[in-house]
Structure 1
């Protein structure tokens, strides 16, 4: 935890006495820079940071708080973001029903382009080594007299960011400052403040400098409560000296936007969609295809760094063949195709890529399984990318006048698609904590006030992050040994016990 100025420990001295007491020392000295004081300053303009501002502006109790956002990117680009209906960003998140409810509560969902979102009602998961599987299907848990419940709703991160910015703008600009294209050059404890102002010696004071072509002058702002929503390398967390534990998985997540063939036969109920995930221990992790509108899907393939580099180097046809193979072929076949030599870039008149030919031949000798996704027919140009997979968890989420949310507090493996949902859960809890403090006349930055937030979220996030970590390690043991037998048995037991599956689905959606 960061050191607190000794002045905090001194007896209270009223401002007028303090003026007389220090007037000689102040006389003739260099005047302190003007500091703007805010109730809440949030560093980081991603979904978590923007959702916090939107939540504070939406609540009658907190709507009058003076708040600020500091973001290094140009938010005007996010406000004007637009793609045609046949193209999708490769940064897509799976929102649980509880996250959707929170976004609706703060008024952000109505600003979302819902035509670009895709709910899905079922999920097929199976082990590529043993063939054991588990199906999650809300149609089995839904009454004929109610709407079909969803497992989750897919949306592009940029769509969500634009909606949150629109919601914040709709709340008006009173008591709101947004520092776009700005970086935090330093964070330090404030001084004793002006003679007639508050003592800022225990308050975080930020020096905010514009970047790029911005003509704004540097600013100095103080926070009654500073919120770090600034990612895995959070400067706010470094300022607080909050320690983190974790490790790198030595894996990359390969993402892409895919085009799918029509589903045959048509899934019932009509309009329902299914997500698919297959664990591939011999290749370093699971592959998942999650539905998007207009017969598109987003790919998340967790694999080794070498395999990720290989996949990104393939031609579109070869990449599509590898994705189809990853859901259909056995481990030895996949390992062989992952080592195939890439055709020379000078060859332009091939009727079929070698990877496509290899897949076609091997499928003739591979038994089919019922839970297969539709065939991938294409990959959106420029959408193939990768990112490193890590696990991090902060030892606490709070320090005096500081709180951490989202990736600044925790980073987990993406196999369960819970990263953004955990961040939105943090925001819902923290905004509720601030609202409670305002309604009860409490200091929103006091450590005792913030204890409510960390007590609500730390253990929950640790449990989910730890579960994802265990699953990643469990499903990275290749072969047919005891570990493979044990996880296969677990899948089969859960799949045959509807009440257990129902329990897991309800908890995954909460």
Structure 2
């Protein structure tokens, strides 16, 4: 780190004129020193939740409003703005927002543009071992200290809904130059220098539209296969899990979830991977089932009747029965009905039966772990999936990205207020130090949890069961886990 800081300090002296330094110290953004329209203080590539949240923070924080900022997004954002599905239709790509993430989005003003009827809180998680049945119940009960006592554990939201709300908030704030429907063709370093501004070593984003955007700070919020990360020469280490996440939007029996005012999320750890059923508004639910590629392919090929039977079996039958049902090409509904008659289970310990699946929502995606060696380079910062990709079993992917955004916005704000160049390693290093360890711990925790519950036989299985029961009986351990999962350690950014 010290080496990077020394290199950065010399770079600042090399890249900035004295006149521009004086302008920055007077509180003006560098880009205002030139009339060239394609020079920006911040260019963010990627219009997902992380990228949009960062830009909203840069526009909402008063001291950052003078910055000239741009968004680059390959898709047409008019479709995102117009997102307005019927009340009984839900996307199959949903995320779980921790209370800390929800408060951050509220302070940004984004949730004012969301349909609160589509934001579903849940107050408890019931997790259990798919082999031994050892349980773990997580909630913000009376034992939890502070403002979250008795509040929801998390809030389910469709990714498209959140993206639409953030984009509407950006439109309301104004001041963001949006280049949508334009793909990044290349990213290069500038060699230009003018009387007013030294642009040498600034990234230039070349778009398919013909625009060339010069960036004092280039932010990669462009996903796991980030072109910005590739341009910066940042390596990402990790591995594929040889598992796919099967998602679907499901309909529950009767009027909906048991106890509509106090909904519960369910997750069962099977040897092939965890299966989770998460509450959506009314009688609907979001399925995330991590399993082998072969099982995922079978599930996607089944009729709705057989697919529903497989989901219900995943929460009620033994893992041996379920493994057998995965060998059948069809007829799972009849097989499930027969086996359920011979399988004792407590209906109160499992979700209500699934009775329907929304057409076109059954899909899958490969699961992998990736972690960038660093989140920063000279004039480059990575956030969200561009910096790290996590197993979805703890629902922390989007929350990690939002924590990245909070931290990066905080340190950009500090740099602006202290007359620093926001694009140098010196200014960006605190962001990397703030986020890397926390993300590394969470990635490692989810990875070890996946591997621990993938073991289906041997002495580790009863030991795992004993450990799970011990955790379940310790409020202190559960409290520590919930504090970590809620993201409470991340400093807040003051926004309007």
Give TM-score, length-normalised by structure 1: 0.87
Deviation at 1:490, TM superposition (A): 1.0
Q: List aligned pairs for 1:117-132, cutoff 5 A.
A: 117-132=119-134
Deviation at 1:385, TM superposition (A): 0.2
Deviation at 1:262, TM superposition (A): 3.9
Q: List aligned pairs for 1:169-318, cutoff 5 A.
A: 169-172=171-174, 174=175, 176-194=176-194, 196-210=195-209, 218-262=210-254, 266-267=258-259, 271-281=261-271, 284-318=272-306
Q: Does 1:449 align with 2:427?
A: yes
Aligned residues of 2:257 and 2:283 also touching (Cα < 8 A):
no
Aligned residues of 2:12 and 2:424 also touching (Cα < 8 A):
no
Change (3 A) 1:256 1:179: same
Change (3 A) 1:340 1:226: same
Change (3 A) 1:125 1:459: same
Match of 1:493 in 2: 470
Instruction: State the distance in 2 between where 1:165 and 1:265 align.
Output: 31
Instruction: State the distance in 2 between where 1:84 and 1:380 align.
Output: 13
Deviation at 1:439, TM superposition (A): 1.2
Two-structure CA RMSD over aligned residues (Å) = 2.3
Change (3 A) 1:72 1:142: same
Aligned residues of 2:240 and 2:368 also touching (Cα < 8 A):
yes
Runs of 5+ unmatched residues, structure 1: 17-33, 211-217, 343-353
Aligned residues of 1:325 and 1:359 also touching (Cα < 8 A):
yes
Determine which of 100, 104, 107 is the counterpart of 2:106. 104
| Residues 413-449 of structure 1: per-residue CA shift (max 9 Å, x gap) | 0000000000000000001111111111111111111
Deviation at 1:117, TM superposition (A): 1.0
Q: List aligned pairs for 1:32-111, cutoff 5 A.
A: 36-111=38-113
| Residues 378-404 of structure 1: per-residue CA shift (max 9 Å, x gap) | 000000000000000001000011100
Deviation at 1:193, TM superposition (A): 2.5
Change (3 A) 1:147 1:271: farther
Match of 1:366 in 2: 343
Q: Does 1:471 align with 2:449?
A: yes
Specify the SS of the correspondent of 2:294. helix
Instruction: State the distance in 2 between where 1:189 and 1:265 align.
Output: 55
Instruction: State the distance in 2 between where 1:265 and 1:390 align.
Output: 31
Deviation at 1:169, TM superposition (A): 0.5
**Paired residue total:** 463
Change (3 A) 1:358 1:182: same
Change (3 A) 1:199 1:142: closer
Give TM-score, length-normalised by structure 2: 0.89
Change (3 A) 1:416 1:12: closer
Match of 1:24 in 2: none
